[in-house]
Amino acid sequence: MAGIKDVAKMAGVGVGTVSRMLNDSGYVSLDTRAKIEAAMKELNYTPNELARNLYYKKSGIIAVLVPNVSNPFFAEFVDCVEEELRKAGFKIMLCNTLKDVKAEAEYLDLLNRHIVDGIIAGMSSLDESEYSKIHKPIVALDRYLGEEIPVVTVDHKMGGRLAAEVLLRNGCKRILHFRSTAEKESLYHDRHAEFQKIMDEQGIEPIVMIWTGGVWIFSIIIRLQKKLLKKN
C-alpha cells in the first residue's frame, strides 16, 4: 500500500509539501498540486483520515446516544438526526447504550479522545456531574444534564393537559395511563404530572401501567388504537 513518502517521491517533492497540500496547512503552487494529485491517482493513495482528524482534533462525526434503537421513537429520531447531520457535512455514530452506565461512560470518553466532535444525548443514566466535566459540544434531548448543556424539548405540561382534555371531552371514564419509571427526574415527567392533576380534579382514577423498558408497550397501544377506531 502506497504511503505519503511514495507520493512525494513520484511527484518529485518533499513529504512536507504533500502534507501541506493534504492538510491545507500552507501554500502549495497549482503546478505542484497537480503533480501531487497525479501521483496520488497513479498510486491509488488514500489519505489517512484518522491521523488527520487526530492532528486537527476533529473527526466530522457526531455520536448519538439512545437507550434502545428498537424503540420506535428513537428509531425515527435517529433517522431524522442522521439526515440533518449529513446535510451539515457530518457523519453519525449510533450509540445504543441499553441504559448501561458503563457503556454511556465509554461513549462520553470518545468526546474526550477527539474520536467524535460532539454528542447528542437522547438518554442519560449517568450522574449530571459526569457531563459537566466535559467542556465540549453536547446537546440533550428532553432531559436536564446541567446548566451549560442546551436542551431540545417540548411543552410536556401542555401535552399532558391536551391528552387529558381530549379523553374528558369524549366522555372517557376508564382510562389506562402508560408511564415510565421515575427513577431519574426528567422533563417529560411534567406531562404525566399534569395529566394526573387534571384526572384528580375530575375525580377520575386512571389505571397506571409502568413501563420498565422494551417495545411491547407500543404494540399494545397500537392494538388499543385500532379497537377504538373500529368502535368510532
Where does the pLDDT of residue 115 fall: very low under 50, low under 70, confident under 90, or very high at 90 and above?
Answer: confident
Nearest to 70 by CA among 215, 181, 219: 215
pLDDT of residue 215: 52
All 3 cell numbers of residue 137? 459540544
**For the whole prediction, is pTM greater than 0.85?**
no
Is the Cβ–Cβ distance between 6 and 35 less than 8 Å?
no
Cα torsion 6, 9, 15, 19: sign: negative
Residue 216 pLDDT? 52
Q: Which residue has the higher pLDDT, 165 or 113?
A: 165
Q: How far apart are the first and last CA of the chain?
A: 68
Q: How far apart are CA 55 and CA 90, in angstroms?
A: 18
pLDDT mean over 93-117: 82
Residues 6+ apart with CB under 8 A from 107: 63, 65, 95, 97, 119
Torsion region of 6: left, alpha or beta (phi above 0 gives left; psi -120 to 50 gives alpha): alpha
Reported residue count of the chain is 232
pLDDT 10s digits, 10-26: 999 999 898 888 877 78
Can you give the pLDDT at residue 99?
Answer: 77
The pLDDT of residue 32 is: 93
* pLDDT greater than 70 at residue 123: yes
Domains of the chain (ranges, CATH numbers): 4-47 (no CATH), 56-152 (3.40.50.2300), 156-231 (3.40.50.2300)
The pLDDT of residue 157: 92
Per-residue confidence (pLDDT) for residue 148, from 0 to 100 = 83
3-state secondary structure of 120: strand
Residues with Cβ < 8 Å from 42, sequence gap 6 or more? 10
The tens digit of pLDDT for each residue in 167-199 reads 999 998 888 887 766 555 567 788 889 999 999
| 46-97 pLDDT per residue, tens | 776 666 666 667 788 899 998 888 888 888 999 999 999 999 989 999 988 8
223 band by pLDDT with thresholds 50, 70 and 90? low
Using alpha carbons, select from 163, 159, 141, 160 the residue that is nearest to residue 151: 141
- Mean pLDDT for the chain overall: 82
Confidence class of residue 31 from pLDDT cuts 50, 70 and 90? very high
pLDDT tens digits along 124-168: 778 878 887 777 889 998 888 888 889 898 899 999 999 999 999
